Chain A
Amino acid sequence: MKFIIAIIKPFKLDEVREALSNLGVAGMTVSEVKGFGRQKGQTEIYRGAEYTTNMLPKVKLEIAASDELAPRIIEVIQQTASTEAIGDGKIFVIDLASATRIRTGETGEPAL
């Protein structure tokens, strides 16, 4: 099993979610996050005061997937979330040691 963490641009969320549903992904966790990478921050000016915000708002997706599905999920996210501009985000994948469905107690891939 793999655990996929994707950081994407917030406005791409709906598109990515739809593409992943079509692929058969049954669930994911979404959070609003802030961070920085190569993309520069934005400048805000309030009367004389100028502030540069280094942290930009992004959306983080967390998906647990079977080993066969994982490469296709990564591919779909990469293709859907891309605007070919700086700040499109990143996809991280880690090995998932175990998964348990709380309601039934099932473990492993059937719990996903």
Chain B
Amino acid sequence: MIRKMISGVVGTGLVLGFASTAFAQAAMIKAPTAAQQVAMINKGDTAWLLVSSAFVLMMSVPGLALFYGGLVRTKNMLSVLMQVFMIVSVCGLLWATVGYSMAFTTGFTSSLTPYIGGFSKALMRGIDGTTAATTFSNNVYVPELAYFVFQMTFAMITPALIIGSFAERIKFTPLMVFVVLWSILVYYPIAHMVWYWAGPDFLPDSPNEAGLLNHWGALDFAGGTVVHINAGIAGMVGCLMIGKRLGFGKDNTPPHSLTLTMVGASLLWVGWFGFNAGSNLEANGVTAVAFVNTMLATCAAAVSWAVVEQIVHAKPSTLGAASGAVAGLVAVTPASGYAAPMTALVLGLVVSPICFFFVTTVKNKFKYDDTLDVFGVHCVGGITGALGTAIVASPALGGQGVIDYTRFPAVPMQGYSIASQLMIQLEAVTITLVWSGVISALLYFAIDKTLGLRPTEEAEREGLDINEHGERAYNY
């Protein structure tokens, strides 16, 4: 029995979407054929989705690479840039070979469908310029290749986020092996569980054709659970298992270039519009809502981090402002298409003090070396956002509510309850934390016992750039 059927990526169905839906209702086609779907593709949606894909790529390279790179010491700069660049490249190849198929097709058997897709589209079989993918509106489709590449950019950035937790002390090749296995065993299943569904024109006839969390009605507009909590906990487990950097707590390890960090954070901010607003797949009113929500939450979080620092240290820092902006972006990610601008703003104001508390007080108390605060910003910010989504999505607070996709055409769900939605969100967060945390731990353990994760003490002291890559970032 379906409690609610809401899309993972987008619960959509905003007022604007429905106006046009209602207008065209007479001509609505239930379960359109492949040829009919192609005729339902819109040039504006296609253009927006392709531009968004490029924006999300820009978040990884150069955005994330520079944001992280600036925070490490000079001797490890290239290792971070190279890790991000290669993770993006390797994950792109992996997505085309098995990733897309494992995330976005039906399971080998119907009992596997809630957890993981099959290999029917492995090596991009059956995907070409004439196939279509569903959106969040009845009878609206996008080219499947556009959807394929948009989702690919998410599969690229998520593993790249992890490396910040154990920056400056990891061997390159074992890391790449970890990323491949982690993508297959963690990212694809979680993406499938949250985002896979038959689509609005097919769900009414096959209500079980959806990932587990999607079926439960977990709300995750653009990847709070799939991307940020998922990567954040994997990073935290890695930092605990790999151990602290040599000299942690004794040596001074200040960022080598906050200028580059600021450039990277700013590119992340710009690129994130592709991530959040692009996640609507279509270019319509909900897209604009997600865009504005993303903007306001980020501004609010940057300001509130600076204010907290002004109060605590009497000096608002550049790194604080950048961290706040990223925390705001992370928090608004799952909520972007559900919140109203003013509630998104509040979400942004709230998330920074929480993340600040984790990266300063909690981290110092427990003395774990989450080098670039992947846990403190992405995991904690992601959880704040995932739970906050249940609140801000409420129509009573001006939110977009959720859509009942089990009906054709889909209609807004009646009687939204913050409390019951909060429970669903909590379940989704818990499953992600446990799944990603446990499997990541097993992978780190296995790779450490075979290939070894950590460089020699001498190599770590001298720096990863010269020892792992044979070059230096700066030759003056």
Contact = CB atoms under 8 A, between A and B. Distances in A.
B323 A47 contact: yes
A48 B363 contact: yes
B363 A46 contact: no
Interface in A27-60: 44-49, 51, 53
Interface residues of A, number: 8
Interface stretch (B51-59, B187-195, B247-255, B457-465): B247-255
The A interface is mostly helix, strand or loop, or mixed, namely strand
B253 A49 contact: yes
Nearest to B319: A46
Interface in A41-87: 44-49, 51, 53
Contacts of A47: 319-320, 323, 359-360, 373
A48 B254 contact: no
For chain B, the bracket of interface size reads 10 to 19
Interface string A74-110: 0000000000000000000000000000000000000
A59 B432 CA distance: 56
Interface string B309-325: 00001010101100100
B309 to A, nearest CB: 8
A49 B255 CA distance: 11
A76 B277 CA distance: 65
B254 A46 contact: yes
B430 interface: no
Contacts of A48: 359-361, 363-364
Contacts of A49: 253-254
B252 A53 contact: yes
Contacts of B253: 49
Interface in B222-263: 252-255
Contact of A45 (B71, B313, B361): B313
Contacts of A44: 254
Nearest to A52: B252
B323 A51 contact: no
In the complex, which of the residues A45, A46, A49 has the most CB atoms of chain B within 10 Å of its own CB atom? A46
A44 B317 CA distance: 10
B257 to A, nearest CB: 12
Contacts of B373: 47
Contacts of B313: 45
B449 to A, nearest CB: 32
Interface of B: 71, 252-255, 313, 315, 317, 319-320, 323, 359-361, 363-364, 373
Closest 3 pairs (CB-CB, A-B):
A48-B360, A51-B252, A47-B359
Interface of A: 44-49, 51, 53
Given A44-B254, A48-B360, 14 more contacts: A45-B313, A45-B315, A46-B254, A46-B255, A46-B319, A47-B319, A47-B323, A47-B359, A47-B360, A47-B373, A48-B359, A48-B364, A51-B252, A51-B254
